[in-house]
Chains A and B, each alone.
Chain A
Amino acid sequence: MSQPPDEAVAEVPPEEAQDEPVLEQAGRSKRQQRVREALLAYAFLAPAAVVFGVFVFYPFLKNFDLVLYRANPNFPERTTYRGLDEPRRILFDDVIWSDGPWGLLAVSALVLLVAALVRRLVRRPSRRSQPWAVTRYVLVVALVLGAAGVVVSLNRLRHLMVENDVWDSLWITVIFTLMTVPAGIFLGLALAVAAHQRLRGISIYRTVFASTVTTSVAVAAVVFGTLFNPQIGWLPYLGIDLARPLTDDPTWALPLVAFVTVWQNMGFAFIVMSAGLQAVPDDVLEAAKVDGARAWRRFWRITVPLLSPTIFFSVVVGTIMAFQAFGQVDILTRGGPGRDTQVLAYAIYDSSLRGTEPDPSRAAVLSILLFLVTLMVTIFQTRILEKRVHYA
């Protein structure tokens, strides 16, 4: 009944043979085979699709529902449409410091600065904007922003700008990101460069550098939370005697959380940068060495531009992960003192039914905000940074 195998193969047009190995028996018609294959594919995809549908897409969409409809506490099933009043209240009340013009001034200055930075990056590359110049620009900007983040955090300048809870959380998260992402990249790069040498026993160092990838946020937070405790920690060995723990200090709470985050991410940053460094071809560097280029120059003009995909990947992933930081805040400071470490993710948790101030609308608004930020960062990467990346 069935045709011999070679005739079945000959029956299949070449294009189809490329993307579908027609592995079915030759007895059925091609259409039947395609239907069977499609059904098989859907069957294969079904488990994952169900999980995604129930636990990713449905909750995401439900946020909008939570925002727009008010649940009647007596009849939880019935919800009434209340429009955008609630989100408007959550988002736009008490936004800027009401006591004077300084808040407005500070916010305007900030907006202008960000616009200038982005515009510089977005401008069409002239023939002169070489990969190393762009990469150097990004690294310098990262350094400056990182330093700015630290300064703003230590001076608690954020009080100058916003009073509204939601934007305050966002602002804190931005500062937190500025404190962790550049530091992480520079540290990862330093470790990767140091461990890239051909020395005896270098693999031991590489294992040590990468080992923090096994620590979780809980482990890192417990380790540093207790080590920085004035009574049982190691600060007295450094000659520092504190009246109260760092985690209760409004100035140092966020930097502490940032430090713990950077430490915990060190392993991952090292692994990523190391992988990128290994992709830098040696022959180019050898040629440069023969041509007489010194080590520093070789590094900045050749290695770093060739590392630009990795650097940009680290910036994007680092930013996204920084915006989702939660565990270390929960263990170290619980969002405090006051609201000083209330990052976006923690604010969402706090507003959820298991937090301290349950407020489903506020939680939903914060969730949508978090999603939008993540989306914008990703779009920024694919549209703008990707075009400036130098692919060897």
Chain B
Amino acid sequence: MPEAPDDQTEDELAGGKTAAVVSDEAVALAELQASRLRRGRRWRLLGRYLVLTLLSLLVLIPIYMTVVSSLLIAPGQLTRQPPGLLPFGLPGGWFERFTGGPPQWDSYSEAWSNGNMGLYMRNSAIVTAIIVVGQVITSVLAGYAFALLEFPLKRTLFVVFLATMMVPFEVTILTNLTTITDLGWFDTYTGLAVPFLATGFGAFLLRQAFLQIPQDLKDAAVVDGYGHVRFLLRVAVPLARPMIAALTVFSFLAAWNQYLWPLLATADEDRRTVQIGLKFLKEADLASINQAFAGTVIAVVPLLVLFVMFQKQLIRGLTAGAVKG
């Protein structure tokens, strides 16, 4: 019955409107298949979102449990063992086991004052600031030297700078501890920050960035009679801003999350950083464990905020060595 082929050919030859003459049955069949495809596609879409959500639960559940636990354990005593899954009450019966209680915001103020998290945050902030500023400055200087200056032993020195990344930090702790102590820097901000004021990784990053400066800019600088210092400050640094931002975020993250060195270089509570503070909060007795949970949340929130704001820069910093081409 369908006269499709002949008609179509005629229409094509005519070059005119393609009134596709197809039978009603074919149309109905096509529509059925299309709707099946649409429904199938919707199911597949749902499946994909489901997989994504399940995967994100891996990350979200521990965070959720931490936040909820920080709110559910009353300071000073364990009202429930275990504390419950929800920050509010639920009708009895089967739901009873998931009930928490009213949220105990005291955990946070307690962690801040009694748990000393406020002090630790201040210490971490100061030390991290010193380290980040130091690393950025030394990396910019070193990167500029390797990228835009000529001097004897340049290649050797560059290899030496890179080699510092080969030496695991633990290999240096024995002697660094003695050095810091002998210099009187034990339990001080100086002792916490100075060993990390320079980084081979940063020098590498900035060298890459400065190498990208186009030749005509350099020629123009020659013509304008720029000295190196002026060129660095007026031209090179502004051009390398994305890389500097990436290094800043990366250094901040690394410095804030440091564990081994703050553990070694401080014994007194006064200079303890957030990460070590968390360790001591956890090792305190079980009755004040809410402070540990609250402290964890306090410790992570600034980084999470920074992360959401500067995701792009951070990713650029992290992947600088990873992907080739």
Contact = CB atoms under 8 A, between A and B. Distances in A.
Interface of A: 5-6, 8-9, 16-25, 34, 37-38, 40-42, 44-45, 47-49, 51-52, 54-60, 62-63, 66, 190-191, 194-195, 197, 199, 202, 205, 207-219, 221-227, 231-234, 236-237, 263, 266-268, 271-272, 275-276, 279, 309-310, 313-314, 317, 320, 323-324, 326-327, 330-331, 344-345, 348-349, 352-354, 360, 363-364, 367-368, 370-371, 374-375, 378, 391-392
B141 A47 contact: yes
A352 B177 contact: yes
Q: Most A CB atoms within 10 A — which of B160, B299, B319?
A: B319
Contact of B226 (A17, A23, A41, A309): A23
Contacts of B129: none
B151 A37 contact: yes
B236 to A, nearest CB: 11
A211 B325 contact: no
A323 B168 contact: yes
12 contacts: A38-B149, A42-B151, A44-B142, A48-B142, A48-B203, A60-B171, A207-B308, A227-B62, A234-B65, A237-B85, A326-B260, A374-B168
A48 B201 CA distance: 12
Interface stretch (B15-23, B33-41, B76-84, B88-96): B76-84
Nearest to A346: B170
A48 B259 contact: no
Contacts of A367: 170-174
B150 A37 contact: yes
Given A51-B138, A63-B174, A367-B174, A210 B149 contact: no
B278 interface: yes
B58 to A, nearest CB: 7
Contacts of A226: 69, 282, 289, 292-293
Contact of A62 (B63, B174, B200, B308): B174
Contacts of A222: 278-279, 281-282, 292, 295-296
B29 interface: no
Nearest to B256: A216
Interface string B189-214: 00000111110100100000000000
Q: Which 3 A-B residue pairings sit nearest by Cβ, starting from the closest?
A: A216-B257, A59-B175, A327-B259
A263 B142 contact: no
A189 to B, nearest CB: 12
B26 interface: no
B292 A279 contact: no
Interface residues of B, number: 112
Interface of B: 45, 48-49, 51-52, 55-56, 58-60, 62-63, 65-66, 69, 73, 78, 81-83, 85, 97-98, 137-139, 141-142, 144-145, 148-152, 154, 157, 160-161, 164, 166-179, 194-198, 200, 203, 215, 218-219, 221-223, 225-229, 231, 253, 256-260, 263-264, 267, 274-276, 278-279, 281-282, 286, 289, 292-293, 295-296, 299-300, 303-304, 306-308, 311, 314-315, 318-319, 321-325
Nearest to B276: A218
Given A223-B66, A227-B66, A62 B175 contact: yes
Contacts of B171: 59-60, 63, 348, 367-368, 370-371
B275 A327 contact: yes
Contacts of A52: 160-161, 164, 198, 200
Nearest to A313: B322
A276 B166 CA distance: 24
A211 B321 contact: no
B60 A208 contact: yes
A56 B81 CA distance: 48
A264 B3 CA distance: 66
A309 B82 CA distance: 46
Contacts of A59: 171-176, 179
A210 B151 contact: no
Contacts of B292: 222, 226
Given A21-B219, A231-B81, A232-B69, A349 B164 contact: no
Contact of B166 (A209, A330, A378): A378
Contacts of A194: 48, 51-52, 55
B82 A233 contact: yes
Given A222-B292, A352-B173, A45 B166 contact: no
A60 B166 CA distance: 11
B311 A207 contact: yes
Contacts of A38: 149-152
B289 A353 contact: no
A205 B311 CA distance: 13
Contacts of B231: 21, 23
Nearest to A34: B150
Contact of A370 (B49, B82, B170, B307): B170
A305 to B, nearest CB: 14
B149 A20 contact: yes
Given A52-B160, A218-B259, 10 more contacts: A8-B222, A23-B228, A66-B175, A199-B45, A209-B55, A218-B299, A226-B69, A313-B321, A360-B174, A371-B171
Nearest to B143: A44
Given A21-B221, A354-B177, A331 B60 contact: no
A232 B82 contact: yes
Contact of B148 (A6, A21, A45, A218): A21
A231 B194 contact: no
B282 A231 contact: no
Q: Most B CB atoms within 10 A — which of A224, A320, A326?
A: A326
A386 B18 CA distance: 58
B48 A45 contact: no
A276 B322 contact: yes
A51 B82 contact: no
A217 B62 CA distance: 14
Contacts of A313: 321-323
Contacts of A271: 315, 318-319
A41 B229 CA distance: 11
Contact of A219 (B152, B169, B300): B300
Nearest to A197: B48
B138 A55 contact: no
